[in-house]
Amino acid sequence: MKQIFTIKKEQSKNRLLSFLFPLYPLKIFSSVNSIAILAVLIALRLVLQKFSIFIPAFSLSISLAWTPLIIIGWIYGPIFGLVSGIVTDSLALLMSKSTWFWLYAIQEPMLGLIASLFGYAYRLLTNKNNPNKIWSFIFFQTILLIFSSICIYILIFKVSTDIRFEGKSSLEKFLYSNSKWVILSSIIFFAVCMETLALVFFKKFSKNFIMCALIISLVCSISIIFSFVLGPISANEYYKFIHNGIDSPYFVKYGVIFYLIPRAIKESIKAPIQIYVLIVLIPIANIYINQLKMSKFLKWKIG
């Protein structure tokens, strides 16, 4: 009985370590190559920021700068995903010379953590003898439905009710009175785009169906969380932060939809590019990391 308990305890420990440090037993800082990959991804995150397009009126940035951070979280796990997010956000802030704001500061660490969860789910599914594609597809549908529903609820029943509407024109009044339908239409538009996109990618990458399903689910999740929910909230709260508590004039005239509509369009265009890049790069990174683990294992075995 004691032996069984010891075995189960050891298995639980290994599961926890494999979640926190997916490269275990390979130590990140004991391998020059693993450090180099991590450094290149962090540097790439900062370089890609220089090629981003910022639209001040909507507090909207069009960029693929977060893609390397997603790969870090997926491959290196939640600890390195969290720390790398803090490092990249801090360095990006210093490079841009903008004002620090907590709602923006938490986003990159959160992104690293979320990406690590999907990376862990992928490893669990692919470690099985017969990985089930159906469960991957159901997982994608569930993620899209849950996050879309939560997003609609928050924007309609939490954020929109806090608006002190001051619009006077007929357009402003029309948008405000129909804001719930505009919010609902924007999220449905994005969801339909993702469903269509999923069918295309599932067919194109049928050999990597599970990875494809999880990456699409991941991109959908981060689009909804960071762009649709936190995006409008952060934009107005940041405006209040730098203007002594005064709401954004666009927010009081049009409400949350002023920030939501352009983000729905942006994410519908950006998502397929980001998904394709991740589907191509993550397997390449996985192969290289697995080779590092294998070479390390062989050294231990020979030694």
Q: Tell me the one-letter amino acid at 167.
A: G
Query: What confidence score (pLDDT) does residue 160 get?
Result: 59
Query: What confidence score (pLDDT) does residue 209 get?
Result: 86
pLDDT tens-digit series, residues 228-258: 999 888 988 898 899 888 888 888 777 788 8
163: confidence class by pLDDT, cuts 50, 70, 90: low
**105 found inside a domain:** yes
Burial environment of residue 246 by CB neighbours within 10 A (0 to 12, 13 to 18, 19 or more): exposed
pLDDT tens-digit series, residues 103-134: 999 999 999 999 999 999 888 888 766 666 77
Contact status, residue 289 vs residue 37, Cβ threshold 8 Å: yes
- 53 has which bridge partners? 62
pLDDT tens-digit series, residues 131-145: 667 777 888 888 888
Query: What confidence score (pLDDT) does residue 117 get?
Result: 93
Query: What confidence score (pLDDT) does residue 236 get?
Result: 86
Q: What is the pTM of this model?
A: 0.89
**In CATH, what number is assigned to the domain containing residue 65?**
1.10.1760.20
**151 found inside a domain:** yes
| DSSP secondary structure, 1-69, as one string | -HHHHHHHHHHHHHHHHHHH-TTTTS-GGG-HHHHHHHHHHHHHHHHHHTT-EEEGGGTEEE--TTHHH
User: Under DSSP, is residue 134 helix (H, G, I), strand (E, B) or coil?
Assistant: helix
pLDDT at 183 over 90: no
Query: What confidence score (pLDDT) does residue 88 get?
Result: 95
**42 found inside a domain:** yes
**89 found inside a domain:** yes
- Greater confidence (188 vs 180) lies with 188
Q: Which among 124-138, 165-179, 200-214, 288-302 has the top mean pLDDT?
A: 200-214
How far is Cα 105 from Cα 93, in angstroms, rounded to an integer? Answer: 9
Whose structure tokens read 């540097």?
43
Q: What is the dihedral of CA 244, 246, 251, 252, to 10 degrees?
A: 180
Mean pLDDT of 259-284: 90
Query: What confidence score (pLDDT) does residue 169 get?
Result: 63
Q: What proportion of the chain, given as a percentage, has pLDDT over 70?
A: 83
**67 found inside a domain:** yes
**258 found inside a domain:** yes
Query: What confidence score (pLDDT) does residue 150 get?
Result: 87
41: confidence class by pLDDT, cuts 50, 70, 90: very high
pLDDT at 36 over 90: no
Structural domain count of the chain:
1
**303 found inside a domain:** no
Range of the domain at 21: 1-294
Query: What confidence score (pLDDT) does residue 28 get?
Result: 72
**180 found inside a domain:** yes
Query: What confidence score (pLDDT) does residue 166 get?
Result: 55
Average pLDDT, the chain: 83
pLDDT at 147 over 60: yes
